């Protein structure tokens, strides 16, 4: 059975002391009603926060990105091997803020393969711009993102991936997709996976919604049959709101 997941994406926020305090507070509050809680934290804090969550059950740490080359002359980049050597188990791949600075479906496909080859679960982010939503071509657009970066995988590898649907127009804007809009896209993605793979594979994959998830709207979003939790930006930066969201299943 697929997992219910509360995932936070801290992005480029918080200094070291605030970040470690937040992680401690979140661990203290616990995972809430879902099956798994993940915090995607800035690179410099990965190791320390991984230690903070070490004894917490079902609370884990993710990197926010990784490089698509294995190693070498890529100043300032972080490889999947490095993440593995820190015992990091999850990594965001293809957040729209990374796609906007040049990460293509092809690059993301390579990142997905590298993560899986190293035992790291990719949290694959996808989602359309406002223009595409208004044109009415959003379902096909997001489907193509999945096809290009994920659909080369074998069944057992695809089953290891977590998908996060994040409409760009809802990220950091306070404008959430309605529960119907979220469910419609999630159902479309799950059906697409069922057609390409099997119903069992489609049923086994957690599909999270991201984009202005808050304590006030989480319950309505998570109540949908195909919404298996959230990838939360702004509201993951305070233990209280993140914890309230985690109670919304």
Does 233 participate in binding ligand PGA (rule CB under 6 A)? yes
Out of 67, 68, 95, 138, which one is annotated catalytic?
Answer: 95
Q: Of the two residues 227 and 231, which places its CB atom closer to ligand PGA in the complex?
A: 231
CB of 216: closest distance to ligand PGA in angstroms? 13
Taking CB under 6 A as the rule, which mask of x and - marks residues 195-224 in contact with ligand PGA? ---------------xxxx-----------
Site track 43-72 with ligand PGA (rule: CB under 6 A), x = hit: ------------------------------
- By rule CB under 6 A, what string of x and - marks binding of each residue 2-41 to ligand PGA? -------x--------------------------------
Residue 166 or 226 with smaller CB distance to ligand PGA? 166
Helices (H), ranges, the chain: 16-29, 46-53, 80-85, 96-99, 105-117, 130-135, 138-149, 155-158, 179-196, 199-204, 215-222, 239-246
Nearer to ligand PGA by C-beta: 112 or 218?
A: 218
Residue 166 bears catalytic tag: yes
Residues in the interface with ligand PGA (CB under 6 A) total 13
**Two structure tokens written together for 127:** 């989602």
**Sequence-separated (6 or more) residues with CB below 8 Å from residue 113:** none
Residue 212's region, left for phi above 0, alpha for psi from -120 to 50, else beta, is left
Among 166, 167, 192, 208, binds ligand PGA (CB under 6 A): 166
Please, are residues 53 and 60 in contact by the beta-carbon 8 Å criterion? yes
Among 51, 172, 195, 238, interactor with ligand PGA by CB under 6 A: 172
Q: Confirm or reject binding of residue 234 to ligand PGA (CB under 6 A).
A: yes
Identify which of residues 36 and 231 has a Cβ nearer to ligand PGA in the complex: 231
Distance in angstroms (rounded) separating the CA atoms of residues 244 and 108: 32
> Partners of 118 in the beta sheet?
none
**Neighbouring residues of 101: CB distance < 8 A, sequence distance ≥ 6:** none
- The label of the residue with tokens 């899986």 reads 116
- Can 68 be counted among the known catalytic residues? no
Q: Is 171 a residue that touches ligand PGA (CB under 6 A)?
A: yes
Q: Is 167 in the site for ligand PGA (CB under 6 A)?
A: no
Q: Which residues of 22-53 are buried (b: 16+ CB within 10 A; e: fewer)?
A: bbeebbebebbebbbbbbbbbbebbeebbebb
What residues act catalytically? 95, 166
Q: Which residues contact ligand PGA (rule: CB under 6 A)?
A: 9, 166, 171-172, 210-213, 231-235
């Amino acid at each position: 059975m697929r997992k219910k997941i509360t995932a936070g994406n801290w992005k480029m926020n918080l200094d070291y002391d605030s970040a470690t305090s937040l992680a401690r507070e979140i661990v203290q509050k616990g995972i809430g009603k879902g099956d798994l809680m993940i915090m995607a934290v800035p690179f410099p804090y990965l190791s320390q926060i991984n230690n903070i969550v070490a004894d917490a059950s079902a609370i884990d740490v993710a990197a926010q990105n990784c490089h698509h080359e294995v190693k070498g002359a890529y100043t300032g980049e972080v490889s999947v091997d490095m993440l593995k050597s820190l015992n990091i188990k999850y990594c965001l791949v293809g957040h729209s803020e990374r796609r906007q600075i040049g990460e293509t479906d092809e690059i993301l496909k390579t990142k997905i393969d590298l993560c899986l080859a190293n035992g790291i679960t990719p949290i694959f982010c996808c989602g359309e711009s406002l223009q595409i939503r208004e044109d009415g071509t959003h379902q096909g657009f997001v489907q193509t993102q999945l096809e290009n970066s994920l659909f080369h995988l074998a069944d057992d590898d695809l089953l290891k991936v977590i998908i996060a649907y994040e409409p760009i127009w809802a990220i950091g804007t306070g404008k959430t997709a309605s529960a119907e809009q979220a469910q419609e896209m999630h159902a479309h993605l799950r059906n697409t996976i069922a057609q390409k793979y099997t119903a069992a594979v489609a049923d086994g994959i957690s599909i999270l919604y991201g984009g202005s998830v808050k304590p006030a709207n989480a319950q309505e979003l998570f109540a949908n049959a195909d919404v298996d939790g959230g990838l939360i930006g702004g509201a993951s930066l305070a233990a209280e709101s993140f914890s309230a969201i985690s109670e919304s299943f």
